[in-house]
Amino acid sequence: MPSILHVNASPRDAQSRSLALAETFLRALAEHAPAVEVTTLNLFERGALPEFGTAAAHAKMATFTGSEQTEEQRAAWADARAVFEQFANADGYVFNIPMWNAGVPYVLKQWIDIVTQPGWSFGFDPEIGYSGLLAGKKAVAIHTSGVFAPGVPAAFGSDFSVPFFEDWLRFVGVTDADHVRFAPTVLNQDPEETRRAAERRLHALVPDFGAHLAPLNA
């Protein structure tokens, strides 16, 4: 059965505009491709992510050098690996990402730092550089921001969120990705029309997303 990992990077539950759009897309996809299994990872849930601190960092460096890991390091590395496997085992991804201080929420960066490991999600060659190891996956990322919108003066903010996330997806090999904005959500003369435009864009993406997953269910 084809599977989707939905990564919710908002803590606002029913008040989250990015989450509402992600759920709209997933409902439409369920009607189009009912056999698809969806798992939602709520990054702000207590215990959703393991700490990637000193033990995990030393475990990572031990894999580089071929050194023996301590028991604590092995446990931390196993916890990180479990998060990665949930990511790697999905056939497609839906992300909802509110902009925080011109960037992504810290828990999303934590998740990215856990799953982005050499030999897991990327490789490296001294002659050709980095290569993503998750080719063949498909992603939809929904981005919201309260004040910033493309084309606004610099006094209304900057966007380091969408370019960062686009670059990260390419880095791990997910090159088949669509990015949908709902922005701004606060300083907007017609927020409902802007939201409906984002919904229309998401509905338009459903057939292609479903077609990508269909061969996996053959």
Structural domains of the chain sorted by starting position, each given as residue range(s) with its CATH number in brackets: 3-217 (3.40.50.360)
In three-state secondary structure terms, 176 is: strand
The rounded distance, in Å, linking the Cα atoms of 35 and 53 is 38
In three-state secondary structure terms, 28 is: helix
Report, as an integer, the average pLDDT of 162-174.
98
Asked if 199 and 18 touch (Cβ cutoff 8 Å), the reply is no
The rounded distance, in Å, linking the Cα atoms of 46 and 12 is 14
- Residues 102, 104, 107, 109: what is their CA dihedral angle, to the nearest 10 degrees? -110
The rounded distance, in Å, linking the Cα atoms of 155 and 178 is 28
Neighbours of 218 (CB within 10 A): 5
The rounded distance, in Å, linking the Cα atoms of 143 and 127 is 35
The rounded distance, in Å, linking the Cα atoms of 12 and 176 is 28
Q: Which tens digits make up the pLDDT trace of 93-143?
A: 999 999 999 999 999 999 999 999 999 999 999 999 999 999 999 999 999
Name the nearest CA neighbour of 115 among 144, 90, 140: 90
Report, as an integer, the average pLDDT of 69-91.
97
Report, as an integer, the average pLDDT of 181-185.
96
If pLDDT is split at 50, 70 and 90, which confidence band does 13 have? very high
**Global model pTM greater than 0.85:** yes
**Joined tokens for residue 90:** 């999905």
| Whole-number pLDDT of residue 171 | 98
If pLDDT is split at 50, 70 and 90, which confidence band does 217 have? low
Question: Partners of 93 in the beta sheet?
Answer: 5, 139
Q: What is the DSSP letter of 25?
A: H
Name the nearest CA neighbour of 93 among 4, 169, 177, 213: 4
The rounded distance, in Å, linking the Cα atoms of 49 and 114 is 9
